Chain A
Amino acid sequence: MALQLNSITFDHDPTQSATSALNIRRNKDFEVPIPEYDVTQPRAPTQQSAAYAIDATRGQAVIVRCVFQRAPADGPQWHVRATGGGVLGRLDPQAVTFTGAAVVVTVDMPLVHRRFAAVGRHLPVWHWEYRPSGSSSWQPLVATFHCIYLLQSVPAQPWTQTFADRHNPWTDLLDHSCVIADGTTQEMDAAIAHVKAINASYGLRYDIVSGAPRYGFVLTGDAFDLTDWIAFVLNGNPPGSPIFCQGTGEAYLDFEIVNCYDCAASLTLMGKSVGARLDYYFHEPFGFLNFVIPIGRGQCNNPFYGCTGNDPIRGVDDATRTRFGNHAYTKLAGQNNFDACMKQWLSWLSEIILSVIMFLLWLIILIVTFGTVNRFDLLARAQGWLVNLQQPAYEQITIDTNTPAEAAAAGGSPVVQVLDFRVT
């Protein structure tokens, strides 16, 4: 072959994320190799990965850095281009000029036709072509395969863009979070998508004995066990034992049992990984519950009914029922609440009525704003999802304060916690 594409580097400048891909890694143990494409090290497309922040790259001259090689006897002037490319777009023809006796040259190729519009995980292919200067005939060079993650913005702490840091965003997580939030352009929509996924897509169930966490984060100073969360929950490979509530009708794999700390911490980390500004809040005391649906369970106002209790529902205002001593949930940009740990319980009649009201409200807002404001959260609310709720509304839905005893058990307020995850 006359011309060879040696490498493509997407993360060519580890100090900024406007014209370069983000600093990412596979997980706590393994880096994403750079250059992402290296002709000497054939890898699966999913291991030739790069991530971009849509906000940070908007209007910027994003480039990929390519290294080409010629045979010594070949001429110095060439042109290269690439077709295809999916969200990366095609690469316009560009001169490749070797100076003097050099056989290797580095060329920056701008991504002028990129389509960084919405969160997603993509597997684009570039079909590279070349022609010697003076020739009008393009020859096939090589096809390169890539895995590109598009995030709404640069993931905030505990994720970091400091180069060579194990808190760089993990592709093992982006493989899930970018798919969950696929197509979203607003952080609220990404947050709602994650609430629904965590609550309903992984067979997780609330710990009805003690409300104990399985994945390590409670308060500032703790670290969420993200590695286990990815392996056991997102990838669906929990250990076959131990068994929670073994020998009873409530027997399930222990690592599929969670509490609200687990839900809030995972929601925060996963949401942040795609650029949604979610934060973890701890609320103590919380109190007696109105009728809710804890994750993976049914209608309930007595959350700790035990392995054999079989009484998740007790009389309204029954003071003997169990309660949440504390609770954890998330807020988006420090404002409204998003809770993946439970849903509002709605009777079939109230669900129909709420659905009609919310649909009309959603439609009116959409029409009045000429389609620019899509209050998708209203439709989710009609299904009982606890999303985009102001604090008073959230507490009104979830906390029962009807009687003096119930009111006395409540009264806490949410306090933001500094979330971290284990990288050792």
Chain B
Amino acid sequence: MEKILRVRIAPVPVSTEEVSEDLVLSPGAPGPLAGFQVDYEAVTLIETPLTVRRQMHLFDSSETLRLVLALCLSGPTAAREYLIRISGFQREPSPDAIQELDLRPGAAGFCWSWDADGSSAYAAFARHNLVASLEGRLSTVRAIARAIDDSVRGVKTIPTMQAGPGTNPQRLGPVAPGARLDLPTTDIPNTQLFFVGSGGAVNRDPAQAGRYYYRAGLQRGLQKLEAFRVGRGLLPVRTPIEIKIA
């Protein structure tokens, strides 16, 4: 199955650009999801590949739509891999059931229906470093995929190598091995905060909601953390942090 999907998207060259402007797709607001309301929504940060994922379950008067939008912070190549990865099911469509998506040049994607009448279908595509997958009625997932892709085409991009966490890390510490170091980062309404790092663990403070602290590991040296703050869209504000354990 994986091989079939790779062959499908192989003719589309991998983009050298990645998204540099936040993409906010709000159900109910003007845009691809205008007719829908949100049933369930969750934002997560995946570490491999480093990806911000927004999962939405939507509905309107006649149908439901499951949508995943994922921004691969490692770039378009990682996005291609992620596209293949999230398109794995225990059920496999027959190879001749896999169809092209009606997308403009530059996007790689596919769709198929699980049943003859098209009531349960799957579509997924990648453009630049953004991946979208949709599950719902075949006609709907095709149309919404096209509309989302049009939105993605409208956001600003930058060459891949220019993106990244930034070069001026916030320097904290020193902190003794095993000791606690309060972080200046706090929760902000309507945003979600994620941390990736090494040499210790970032924890929530049970005594102070919205506060975080770093528990240093036992290894001395300079440890790198990164805070990712995600708002209503996908593109995070990235804050690199360096902590000296001494």
Contacts and interface: CB of A to CB of B under 8 A. Distances in A.
A14 B203 contact: no
Contacts of B85: 218-219, 221-222
B178 A259 contact: no
B46 A422 contact: yes
Interface on chain A toward B: helix, strand, loop, or mixed SS? loop
A325 B1 contact: yes
B63 to A, nearest CB: 9
Interface in A231-251: 239, 241-243, 246
Contacts of B114: 209-210, 304, 306
Nearest to A341: B90
Given A163-B217, A424-B194, A261 B90 contact: yes
Contacts, number: 108
B47 interface: yes
A297 to B, nearest CB: 14
A164 B225 CA distance: 14
Nearest to A207: B90
B66 interface: yes
B102 interface: no
Contacts of B178: 14, 163-164
B194 to A, nearest CB: 5
A218 B206 CA distance: 33
A29 B178 CA distance: 17
Nearest to A241: B39
A365 interface: no
B153 interface: no
Interface in B174-232: 178, 194-196, 200-201, 203-204, 206, 215-218
Interface residues of A, number: 45
Contact of A165 (B49, B204, B217): B217
Contacts of A83: none
Contacts of B39: 241-242
Nearest to B193: A424
A242 B41 CA distance: 10
A15 B218 contact: yes
A164 B216 contact: yes
A307 interface: yes
B115 interface: yes
A287 to B, nearest CB: 11
A84 B77 CA distance: 61
Contact of B88 (A15, A29, A31, A219): A219
A210 B89 contact: yes
Interface centre among B39, B91, B122, B204 (most CB of A within 10 A): B91
A194 interface: no
Interface of A: 14-15, 25, 29-31, 162-166, 207, 209-212, 218-219, 221-223, 225, 239, 241-243, 246, 254, 259-261, 284, 303-304, 306-307, 322, 324-327, 420, 422-424
11 contacts: A30-B206, A31-B201, A209-B114, A210-B89, A223-B46, A241-B39, A254-B57, A259-B90, A306-B120, A325-B92, A424-B194
